[in-house]
């Protein structure tokens, strides 16, 4: 039996293993969705002038938006690549800054 959990539970339950299933939608597509979400929210707040504040687009805001669109997870310590290639094959790059790749 497996139980679906949210990210908070997954990160704060050291006694259990968490399996995360990712797809291409969690990669570049998710970043585009997150950016879009920020734009839409910001435009809602500035309905009158339709002004877009460029300062709201910073790394923490993008992280938050990725969480809302369901694509924000922990940065892995290790990425194992199987097969004849040596590439991360579109794994969500936002989370691969300091991941060891083997």
Partner 1 sequence: MLSLTLPIPLLKTLTPPSPNINNPSLSPYSHYQPRSRSLTRGLIVPKHSSATAPPSATLRDDGTSLAGDSPEPLPEELVAELMPKHVAVIIDGHGRWAKLRGLPASAGHQAGVQPLRTVVRLCCSWGIQVLTVFVLSTENWFRPKVEVDSLMKLFETTINSSIACMKKEGIQIYVIGDSSKLPESLRSTIANAEKSTKHNSRLQLIVAMNYGGKYDVVQACKSVAKKVKDGLLHLDNINEKIIEKELETKCTEFPYPDLLIRAGGELRLSNFLLWQLAYTEFYFNKTPWPDFGKEEFVDALRSFQQRQRHYGGERHS
The residue ranges that bind partner 1 (CB under 8 A) are 1-7, 9-10, 13-24, 26-29, 31-32, 35-36, 38-40, 43, 51-52, 54, 57-59, 62, 70-71, 73, 83-90, 93-94, 96-102
Count the neighbouring beta carbons within 10 Å of the beta carbon of residue 64.
13
- The whole-angstrom separation of Cα 45 and Cα 37 is 13
CB contact at 8 A, 66 and 28 = no
Who contacts 95 (Cβ-Cβ below 8 Å, separation ≥6)?
A: 73, 74, 75, 76
């Amino acid at each position: 039996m497996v139980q679906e959990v949210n990210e908070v539970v997954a990160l704060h339950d050291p006694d259990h293993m968490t399996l995360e299933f990712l797809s291409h939608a969690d990669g570049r597509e998710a970043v585009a969705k997150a950016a879009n979400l920020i734009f839409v929210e910001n435009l809602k707040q500035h309905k009158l002038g339709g002004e877009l504040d460029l300062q709201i687009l910073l790394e923490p805001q993008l992280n938050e938006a990725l969480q809302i669109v369901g694509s924000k997870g922990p940065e892995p310590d290790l990425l194992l690549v199987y097969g004849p290639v040596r590439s991360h094959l579109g794994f969500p790059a936002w989370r691969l800054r300091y991941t060891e790749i083997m």
